[in-house]
Chains A and B, each alone.
Chain A
Amino acid sequence: MVKMTLIARVTDGLPLAEGLDDGRDLPDSDMYKQQVKALFKNLSRGHNEASRMSVETGPYIFHYIIEGRVCYLTMCDRSYPKKLAFQYLEDLKNEFERVNGPNIETAARPYAFIKFDTFIQKTKKLYQDTRTQRNIAKLNDELYEVHQIMTRNVQEVLGVGEKLDQVSEMSSRLTSESRIYADKAKDLNRQALIRKWAPVAIVFGVVFLLFWVKNKLW
Chain B
Amino acid sequence: MNRENQGYPNFPARPPPPPSSSSSPFASAPPPGVPPQSGGPETVGFRPHTRPFTPSGPPMAPPLGVMRPVQPPLVSQIPGQGSRPPPSTAYGPPGGGSFQRFPTPPPPPSGPPPTQTLAGHFSPPMSLPPQLPMGPPPQSMSSGVPGGYASPPQPGFQQSGPPINPSYPGVGSPQPSFPGYPSKQVLQGPPSSYPPQAGGFAQHPGQQNLHPSYAPPTSNVQGLAEDFNSLSLTNIPGSLEPGLDQASFPRPLDGDVEPNSFAEIYPMNCHSRYLRLTTSAIPSSQSLASRWHLPLGAVVCPLAEAPEGEEVPLIDFGSSGIIRCRRCRTYVNPYVTFTDSGRKWRCNICSMLNDVPGEYFSHLDATGRRMDMDQRPELTKGSVEIIAPTEYMVRPPMPPIYFFLIDVSFSAAKSGMLEVASQTIKSCLDNLPGYPRTQIGFITYDSTLHFYNMKSSLSQPQMMVVSDLDDIFVPLPDDLLVNLSESRNVVEAFLDSLPLMFQNNVNVESAFGPALKAAYMVMNQLGGKLLIIQNSLPSLGAGRLKLRGDDARVYGTDKEYTLRVAEDNFYKQMAADCTKFQIGINVYAFSDKYTDIASLGTLAKYTGGQVYYYPGFKSSIHGDKLRHELARDLTRETAWESVMRIRCGKGIRFSSYHGNFMLRSTDLLALPAVDCDKAYAMQLTLEETLLTTPTVYFQVALLYTASCGERRIRVHTAVAPVVTDLGEMYRQADTGAIVSVYARLAIEKTLSAKLDDARNAIQQKIVKALREYRNLHSVQHRLGSRLIYPESLKFLPLYGLSICKSTPLQGGPADASLDERCAAGFTMMALPVKKLLKLLYPNLFRVDEWLLKPSEHLDDLKDVLRRLPLAAESLDSRGLYIYDDGFRLVLWFGRMLSPDIAKNLLGADFAAELSRVTLQEQENGMSKKLMRLIKKVRENDPSYHPMCFLVRQGEQPREGFLLLRHLIEDQMGGSTSYVDWILQIHRQVQQNG
Contacts and interface: CB of A to CB of B under 8 A. Distances in A.
A109 B396 CA distance: 12
B170 to A, nearest CB: 68
Q: Which of B387, B396, B397, B709 has the most CB of A within 10 A?
A: B396
B390 A115 contact: no
Contact of B393 (A20, A21, A111, A122): A111
Contacts of B711: 109-111
A14 B390 CA distance: 8
Given A108-B318, A118-B437, A20 B486 contact: no
Given A20-B526, A108-B316, A111-B711, A15 B396 contact: yes
Contacts, number: 50
A56 interface: no
Interface string A101-126: 00000001111001101100110000
Nearest to B392: A110
Interface in A169-196: none
A20 B390 contact: no
A76 B139 CA distance: 87
B396 A111 contact: yes
Interface in B688-739: 709-711
Contact of B525 (A17, A24, A114, A115): A24
A100 B526 CA distance: 25
A14 B710 CA distance: 14
Contacts of B485: 118
Contacts of A118: 436-437, 483, 485-486
B879 to A, nearest CB: 57
Interface in A1-45: 14-15, 17-18, 20-21, 24
Given A21-B525, A108-B316, A110-B390, A115 B397 contact: no
B710 A117 contact: no
**Which of A14, A18, A109, A121 is the most central at the interface, judged by chain B CB atoms within 10 Å of its CB?**
A109
B436 A110 contact: no
Contact of B710 (A17, A20, A21, A109): A109
A110 B525 contact: no
Contact of A15 (B387, B390, B526): B390
A4 to B, nearest CB: 11
Given A20-B526, A118-B436, A111 B486 contact: no
Contacts of A111: 393, 396-397, 709, 711
A20 B389 contact: no
Given A18-B396, A108-B316, A114 B486 contact: no
Contacts of A15: 390, 396
Contacts of B318: 108
Contacts of B543: none
Interface in B453-510: 483, 485-486
Nearest to A6: B396
Interface residues of A, number: 17
B315 to A, nearest CB: 11
A114 B393 contact: no
A106 B485 CA distance: 27
B396 A114 contact: yes
A109 B483 contact: no
Contacts of A17: 396
Nearest to A109: B387
Contacts of A109: 316, 387-389, 710-711
B316 A20 contact: no
Interface in B382-427: 387-390, 393, 395-399
Contacts of B709: 111, 114-115
Instruction: Name, among A17, A18, A24, A117, the residue most crowded by chain B CB atoms within 10 Å (CB to CB).
Output: A117
B477 to A, nearest CB: 8
B316 A21 contact: no
Contact of A20 (B387, B388, B396): B396
Contacts of B486: 118, 122
A110 B388 CA distance: 8
Interface in B334-352: none
Most buried by A among B388, B389, B395: B395
Contacts of A14: 390
A26 to B, nearest CB: 12
A15 B397 CA distance: 11
Contacts of B396: 15, 17-18, 20, 111, 114, 117
A138 to B, nearest CB: 21
B390 A21 contact: no
Contacts of A21: 525-526
Nearest to A24: B525
A118 B398 CA distance: 12
Contact of B437 (A18, A24, A110, A117): A117
A24 B521 CA distance: 12
A110 B316 CA distance: 11
A110 B526 contact: no
Nearest to A110: B390
A157 B316 CA distance: 33
Contacts of B387: 108-109
A130 B397 CA distance: 30
A19 B277 CA distance: 43
A122 B483 CA distance: 10
A212 B390 CA distance: 83
Interface string B186-215: 000000000000000000000000000000
Interface string B104-117: 00000000000000
A106 B397 CA distance: 20
Contacts of B395: 18
A21 B481 CA distance: 11
A186 to B, nearest CB: 36
A122 B479 CA distance: 12
A40 B300 CA distance: 40
Contacts of B399: 20, 114, 117
17 contacts: A15-B396, A18-B395, A20-B398, A20-B399, A108-B387, A109-B389, A109-B710, A109-B711, A110-B388, A110-B711, A111-B397, A114-B396, A114-B437, A114-B709, A115-B437, A117-B437, A121-B483
Interface of A: 14-15, 17-18, 20-21, 24, 108-111, 114-115, 117-118, 121-122
**5 closest A-B pairs (Cβ-Cβ)?**
A18-B396, A114-B709, A110-B390, A109-B387, A21-B525
Given A114-B399, A121-B483, 17 more contacts: A14-B390, A17-B396, A20-B396, A20-B526, A108-B318, A110-B388, A110-B389, A110-B390, A111-B396, A114-B396, A114-B397, A115-B436, A118-B436, A118-B437, A118-B483, A118-B485, A118-B486
